[in-house]
Structure 1
Amino acid sequence: MKLNLLDFTYSELEQFCSGLGEAPFRARQLWQWLWQKRERDFGRMTNISKELRERLGQTADVLWPEVVHVQASRDGTTKFLLALADGQHIETVLIPEKDHFTLCLSTQVGCALGCTFCATGRMGLVRNLTMAEILGQILVAREHVAGLTQGQTQGQTQDQTPDQTQELATGQILGQTQGLALRNLVFMGMGEPLLNWENLRRALESLHHPLGLDFSKRRITVSTVGVPGMLSEFGASGLASLAVSLHAPTQDLRARIMPRAARFVLDDLIAELAAYPLQPRQKITIEYVLLGGVNDDLGHARELVRLLNKVKAKVNLIPFHPSSELPYAAPDMNRVLAFENLLKSKGLPATLRKSKGQDISAACGQLRADVAALE
């Protein structure tokens, strides 16, 4: 079985080239072809000798996740359904901002945590993603962004014809997003990133390489429910910013809506966050999905302020997106605004996330890689 070169870190690629009897600079050339130029065909790597290209073709591959389906939202958000080499599927979401794109990445096929307000949790955990499968989502997204810049989209598989709604959305995307670059990464898609820490760590380290994808650490955020022991290791790595999926201000309520995540006791989680290493002006993002009538009243807001009083934090409020499969309602917007205002009045920074991609099930908690829906 051939090796996928996208699964190699830079040092591993150097070792691979050395094993072929090649000088270290060959790894640098290959790395640039793989990550900067997004080249998958060894035959087109023109500054590499023909002999080496032939040997590479015999021993290795460059395998991206396969784009199965692309959905375009009216707000410019694009959701990719990707097939992996073993037939499993994941989703990744490209989100347009004012002057750039943000990509929401998955780290697992499914998720073991089963939060009761999250569609991904209903899948259960199938497996972890490899480094190549994690970073391959970025290659797919950058290829798509390059197509937008050229006035094209990758939106349809060969046997699909877009309906009028899809054509309208595609036209809007071309008008809204031409010239935008993919600048920010958020690991907030399918899966719990810190339960796939080894592959995530290797991916983050590779992301920062200046001859490759070259993403700044401050442009990358990893979202976690708070895995015991892993928070300190992630913090010590300094590889990305931290976001914590909290969603409840008490242990009892968190256990009700996030039963498996709540095994990580809330008091212990807050103690880890209070000790978490931060840069001088850096804050931990606390993510809080507001469920109608469940965790969205002013009493909950006051408890949240008390809970976070020793944590250098800012709160990202996310109104729940209703689904027929999930047992919750959207919160009343008056309650949402009152919740936000109370946090701010107590000195706790808070913002209301503007949800995007709801019409294509690409918003927070909606990813589930539903292949059957395409049939």
Structure 2
Amino acid sequence: MTVNLLDLDLEGLAVFCERLGEKRFRAVQLFRWIHRKGAQNFEDMSDLAKSFREKLKSLATITPLSVVSQHISADGTIKWLFDVGGGNAIETVFIPESDRGTLCVSSQAGCAVGCRFCSTGHQGFSRNLTTGEIISQLWHAEFFLRKHLGCDERVISNVVMMGMGEPLQNYKELIPALKVMLDDHGYGLSRRRVTVSTSGIVPMIDRLSQDCPVALAVSVHAPNDGLRDQLVPLNLKYPLSQLMAACHRYLAFAPRDFITFEYCMLAGVNDSDECALQLVQRIKAHPGTWCKFNLIPFNPFPASGLTCSSPERVKVFARILNDAGIITTVRKTRGDDIDAACGQLAGDVKDRTRVVDRIARQRSIPIHPVADSTLANSGAVQ
């Protein structure tokens, strides 16, 4: 059985080479050919011994994902749809800026978290991606862009694990992929420029701080447990008090001196002044200037039953947080003309969650802000 070398970080590749009777420096050479030069054919690896190349031909492959489609937005954003077999597909998005190029990478086919406002979650969960399938997205995008732009230097400067899926529910495959991204013999990305986004799996946040502390982004989306239980079901297992404490612990190991909190702005649901003031209380319960908020305009889709907050309401919400000393920005929507904006990935995949039926049954009990009992009773976050 052949091994797909995209599945291996440098340490894994060194073990593989040792089993073939080759020294470690051969693994470094091979790793650099794959991830620095984008080589897929062993014959092109001119500084490898011919005998080694012959072994590789029979025992290994470099097999990236197959591209189903590619779409380029009017703003330069590029979205790729990759086939991962079994009728499943994942999406990857490149977002160009004047000072950086960011790749949004998927970690799962579908998602099991089921956030109410995310069209990706409405397709349900199929399976975890392998390390090779995660890295293949970066591999393909980087070397396509070099050719497309006619340059030899690295194009992708930032990677965000914010595509399809919950990265920390695929921890075993995620960590080797992060190590490939960070390795100086591979993509050489800074820990500050690789971000893992999570819905809030508290034990895995603590593990990440020990195993591979990169930048952390956390999907909050509500200021109290009652509302967050409805928007982010994972909150039922890991409530906000536990999540905030885990984020504060992560700071001691993080490459940045802050945690980013993502907050999707939903009209009449989580965008009131009261919600903003509850957030301020919750953040101020932990000492220091330790987080930043990124307010995300909601990208509507029919099955959600939700609408986006008005630009005026978003500005007022942001002003309340900023006035309290919490650095807050509003995310600029990119790639929405090709359904590549936040929350839109693979929105045309079959809905396996029967969410439309569930929403219809719940019409008599619409989502609305729920007062946090602790906040309401004591005026402070516990």
Counterpart check, 1:276 vs 2:250: yes
Q: How does 1:317-328 map to 2 (within 5 A)?
A: 317-328=295-306
Q: How does 1:185-334 map to 2 (within 5 A)?
A: 185-278=159-252, 282-311=257-286, 312-334=290-312
Counterpart check, 1:337 vs 2:315: yes
Decide whether the 8 Å contact of 1:65 with 1:84 is kept in 2.
Answer: yes
* TM-score, L = length of structure 1: 0.88
Counterpart check, 1:88 vs 2:62: no
CA RMSD of aligned residues (A): 1.9
Decide whether the 8 Å contact of 1:320 with 1:330 is kept in 2.
Answer: yes
Local SS of the residue matching 1:182: coil
The one-letter code matched in structure 1 to 2:263 is: Y
Aligned residues: 346
Identity %: 41
1:88-141 deviation digits (Å, cap 9, x = unpaired): 311000001122210001011100011110011111111111111111111111
Distance 1:276 1:260, change over 3 A: closer
Distance in 2 (alpha carbons) for counterparts of 1:85 and 1:21: 34
Counterpart check, 1:57 vs 2:62: no
* TM-score, L = length of structure 2: 0.86
Distance in 2 (alpha carbons) for counterparts of 1:40 and 1:281: 35
Distance in 2 (alpha carbons) for counterparts of 1:261 and 1:39: 44
Q: How does 1:350-361 map to 2 (within 5 A)?
A: 350-361=328-339
1:187-234 deviation digits (Å, cap 9, x = unpaired): 110000111111111111222211111111111111101103111111
The one-letter code matched in structure 1 to 2:139 is: L
Distance in 2 (alpha carbons) for counterparts of 1:179 and 1:205: 20
Decide whether the 8 Å contact of 1:99 with 1:180 is kept in 2.
Answer: no
CA drift at 1:370: 3.8
1:30-84 deviation digits (Å, cap 9, x = unpaired): 1111111111111111111222212211111111111110111111111000112
Distance 1:371 1:266, change over 3 A: closer
Counterpart check, 1:77 vs 2:77: yes
Q: How does 1:38-53 map to 2 (within 5 A)?
A: 38-53=38-53
Distance 1:138 1:249, change over 3 A: same
Structure 1 unmatched ranges of 5 or more: 152-177
Structure 2 unmatched ranges of 5 or more: 351-382
Decide whether the 8 Å contact of 1:112 with 1:125 is kept in 2.
Answer: yes
The one-letter code matched in structure 1 to 2:337 is: D
Q: Which moved more, 1:185-194 or 1:262-271?
A: 262-271
* Runs of 4 or more consecutive aligned structure 1 residues displaced over 3 Å after TM superposition: 278-281, 369-372
